[in-house]
Amino acid sequence: MNRILSVVGCSLALFATLPSSAQISLVNPVPHEVKVTDAKCLPLPKAWKVVTTDALSDCAAANALKTNKVGVSVSSSASFTVTLGVKGDKCVAKVKDMIPDRHEGYYLRIDKKGAVIAAADETGLFWGVQTLLASMAEGKLQKAEVTDWPDVPYRGTVEGFYGTPWSHKARLSQIEFYGRHKMNVYIYGPKDDPYHRNQWREPYPQDEAARIQELNEHAKKHGVKFYWAIHPGVDIKWTVEDRDHLMAKLEKMYALGIRAFAVFFDDIWGEGAKADKQADLLNYVDDHFIAVHKDVAPLILCPTEYNRAWADDSKGYLRTLGTKMNKDIHIMWTGNTVVHCIDKESMEWINSRIDRKAYIWWHFPVSDFVRDHILMGPAYGNDLDIADTMSGFVSNPMEHAETSKISLYGIADYTWNMQAYDSQKDWEAGLREVLPKNYEALRTFALYNKDLGQNGHGFRREEGDELLPLAKRIENGEAGALKELQETCTRLDKAVDALLADHSNPELNRELRPWLLQGKNLAAYGYDVACMAVCLKEGSAAVGGKSFQALYDAAKKKTLEMYELENSDVRHALQPGIKVGTKVMLPMLNKLFTATVTAYNTQNGTSLEASADYNPFKLTSDVAQLALLPVSVRGNDVTVAPALEVINWQKDGSFTIEGDRDITFAGMDFNFGVPKVAGNFRLELFTNGAWREVSLLHYSDNDPVIHTGNELGGMTARKLRITNVSGQDLQVYFKHFKFVKQ
């Protein structure tokens, strides 16, 4: 039988012809091939009988049927039968030719008597069950045949961001989400887990080891490979002793039940960054650990040169890995830069150097380098014809695990069936997934939280495009434009109120709260500015019972409240600010405010302040990676957000912080991640019209924190400057910077 003839094309073409109620269209990811045998749906069975082999009776797929959340019970006497089997099992022998010859592939047939799920392997069987369950989400059943498989072998996430690691509860929830949407990999590598990175030689304490065990077991139940990653590069010595430390740690993790491992060497320099040493170590691990334990997944390496911008072909780091390292070891890659979308040309470039298909680590929707934003937009920008050029594709999500699901919903679809991928459709569906009862409000708010703002990586996303025509009409003074702006601000305000009151997803509510409060401020500011413009345009004495002066005062008060909220305790840990609508909405409002106040001053001979933004501190720098870091205030502490990668601080490069008034200093310290570097930098304060140097020192030889001399206390200055005076380019980190004002 020719299966191609029995299937109606690919699902992308098919779904366009299906009625909107088609149950299979509820499935995510989009299946590759679907044949609907009857457009009329069946009622959901009250019970089903599960038929399978003894070997599969307790597998993840069978258990998913038994513990389903669609309201179907399991009964040996039920008339509706679900048959499960993998290729070679007698129970699915009649459909063996329908099973795709692809890893994790499956065939599903649903009719009035029951369902048959036949797969290439147990994981594929689990995915078939997920398709069956997802198709029943609206309480109906579609008679259909589905033939399906993944485009990319390894699909999922890497918890590899800097900042507050996910909670144990959040990780469990993430794993369940991956299983529902056919993502098969979760790489555990949080930068702030000390036993992953800084204390990599040490075993986990008993309670933390137990949590990792639970995560691993939970992953097995949901078709997900739990990869545990170790990061020895910060202080590894290329000795037999340290090699044995690494092997001992891996063995301890194996004893906990872990069966998939990764080794990270990212964001380091110096001794740990040598390609030949890394290759030798990984080969040793591959030969003496992975190969010895027959049940362990292929090893993954995150290299030091993990993007094209950092790759130096003349030194041959990547080519050394490609030629020296065992070919079954995966090598991770972020693209042309640290944060970048992936295209075919860049895949060809990296694959030719590492002599294997790269394993993509996509830095989206991660926000650890723009923590003042929360990213709620769609996942888009990667080529749709590169599935066969990569061995894996994992997303690096935000520390906000629940909000990350909005984008991850689409990433699951993209990696499963690239040609059918529709980022906008998946974005809408992802919003419904995380907050089904308040989808419209969440969608409205998400429109203002897609872009990252200006950042050192230059990675931007579309945001506020639907407002661009309105902004143009306002600029042209068109009738009705200001009223539409008022309505837009009112919609945002109502959406925020609805979300603040919605506790159906408590974790989402907790994560979004700082931005929801700022969104309410933005809506109020925008409404006041629109009313100011109406008042001026119509020559009215008042709008909504408020005079121009009252509206002006209210708008200025809101800008101050936005600043104060940004620097309040409502922020999450390490969050430098709270930004909403920064790409189109806020710039549009600020421009309208300035233009309106300027025109009012001209008409009335007044001198109202026309500047919209309020921020008492400004950072400028000719060190590219520092120039866009935000400055924030908490009480008397003024901090600069950390940079997360190695800083290439050029000779004579500097950064300056300037206040809007004189600052009286009570103290200062900063951490460039390297001991004994205080002498390479000069700190100066601009006081009494001249720069005055302040001494720098370490309290101990091993302490990377740089402190100031006693002369700083009580000094008053408008700005400070730190300069690389070493006479050469330096590589440092920028882990922490703070000064304390009186």
Q: What residues act catalytically? A: 267
- Rounded CA gap, 310 and 269, in Å? 12
- Rounded CA gap, 349 and 9, in Å? 33
* Residue 257 DSSP label: T
Q: Is the peptide bond before 675 cis (omega within 30 degrees of 0)?
A: no
User: What sign results for the dihedral spanned by CA atoms 94, 100, 103, 107?
Assistant: negative
313's tokens: 């072909």
655's tokens: 């950064």
Closest by CA to 133, choosing from 185, 96, 84, 93, is 84
Strands 654-671 and 716-724: antiparallel
Which residues have CB under 8 Å from 575's CB, separation 6+? 371, 372, 514
DSSP assignment of 536-595 equals HHHT-SEETTEEHHHHHHHHHHHHHHHHHHHTSTTSPTT------STTTHHHHHHHHHHH
* Residue 10 DSSP label: B
Cβ burial of 11 (10 Å; 0-12, 13-18, 19+) is buried
Closest by CA to 411, choosing from 429, 398, 426, 390, is 426
- Tally of CB atoms within 10 A around 719: 18
- Rounded CA gap, 113 and 110, in Å? 8
- Tally of CB atoms within 10 A around 538: 10
Which residues partner with 38 through β-bridges?
143
Quickly list H helices, 222-265: 240-255
CA angle 133, 134, 137 (to 5 degrees): 95
CA angle 432, 582, 412 (to 5 degrees): 35
CA distances from 655 to 586, 587, 713 (A): 27, 26, 21
- Tally of CB atoms within 10 A around 349: 17
456's tokens: 């050192």
Residue burial 219-236, b: 16+ Cβ < 10 Å; e: rest: bebbbbbbbbbbbbbeeb
Closest by CA to 594, choosing from 580, 581, 608, is 608
Strands 114-119 and 716-724: unpaired
CA distances from 702 to 101, 695, 706, 710, 738 (A): 57, 19, 11, 21, 20
DSSP assignment of 427-449 equals HHHHHHHH-GGGHHHHHHHHTTS
- Rounded CA gap, 292 and 114, in Å? 43
- Rounded CA gap, 619 and 450, in Å? 25
674's tokens: 């390297």
Q: Are 486 and 530 in contact (CB under 8 A)?
A: yes
